[in-house]
Amino acid sequence: MFSKTKHDQSVMERDIQLDNIPKHIAIIMDGNGRWAKKRGLPRVAGHREGMNTIRRTVRQANKYGVKILTLYAFSTENWKRPRPEVEFLMRLPERFLSKELPELIEQNVRVRITGEKDKLPEYTKRAVEKAVAETAHNDGLILNFALNYGSRSEMIQGIQSICRDVKDNNLSIDEIDEACFTGRLMTHDLDDPDLLIRTSGEIRLSNFMLWQLAYAEFWFTNVLWPDFKEDDFQEAILVYQNRQRRYGGV
């Protein structure tokens, strides 16, 4: 389940089978704070460095022909962090997109947001809505930022929407099936992730896409997000390609 250490890693890009690339890769980008602490820097320095990793990872995902890259950028629980850190994190989309949007457009990337947008500060909303609008006609990699996202709350909202339809006689209880529920989620228009990556050595989902990850392959690495490089991403894909996905079959 864990990645190999850097010492015995002999990951070669040429080993990657381009006809078996995971279509949807979801990443829990973790370890920014620890990266900064190790260097005696404030936590936010780790988030700043983490943006460079995003740029690299998007380029690489695009190169391999990944269809959807979901990045867990801010969870509904992250509001509990100290206020200056929350404010810094909320400024990141603006900082990242003001610099990167031209390249994203050039790379035919479509930016998308999953999460409760209405609760974001105006400046954050404005930055992401601009990026979403300006890339809406691109048909390459979907770069899906999970921003103010929490899976349990998403599912509760889905259940409420189903209940309302049942109450209004627009839906019968027998019609409630997996597709019906999936259709009520914020990710209703995206295929489920095939591969989940989490950096920094933590082995948990932290309220991330609990329904959508039902059949995903999981890959965890001790590497902290700011240190996550091309060879780590290659290793994750190679491990995925060496797993057999059975979806409950034999």
Q: Which residues are annotated as a binding site for Mg(2+)?
A: 30, 217
| Residue 114 CA neighbour count, 13 Å, CB half | 28
The residue from 8, 20, 30, 194 that is catalytic is 30
Among 11, 22, 96, 111, binds ligand FPP (CB under 6 A): 96
d(CA 24, CA 209): 13
Contact 163, 187 (CB under 8 A): no
Contact 58, 104 (CB under 8 A): yes
Residues 6 or more apart whose Cβ sits within 8 Å of residue 47: 32, 88, 89, 92
d(CA 115, CA 192): 16
Site for ligand FPP in 154-183 (CB under 6 A): none
Among 44, 70, 145, 162, binds ligand FPP (CB under 6 A): 145
Instruction: Answer yes or no whether residue 56 interacts with ligand FPP by CB under 6 A.
Output: no
Instruction: Answer yes or no whether residue 73 interacts with ligand FPP by CB under 6 A.
Output: yes
Instruction: Answer yes or no whether residue 78 interacts with ligand FPP by CB under 6 A.
Output: yes
Structure tokens at 173: 């209880």
211 backbone dihedrals φ, ψ, rounded to 5°: -75, -45
Residue with the shortest CB distance to ligand FPP? 33
Instruction: Answer yes or no whether residue 22 interacts with ligand FPP by CB under 6 A.
Output: no
Q: Which is nearer to ligand FPP, 149 or 225 (CB)?
A: 225
Enumerate binding residues for ligand FPP (CB under 6 A).
29-34, 47, 50-51, 54, 73, 78, 89, 92-93, 96, 145, 200, 225
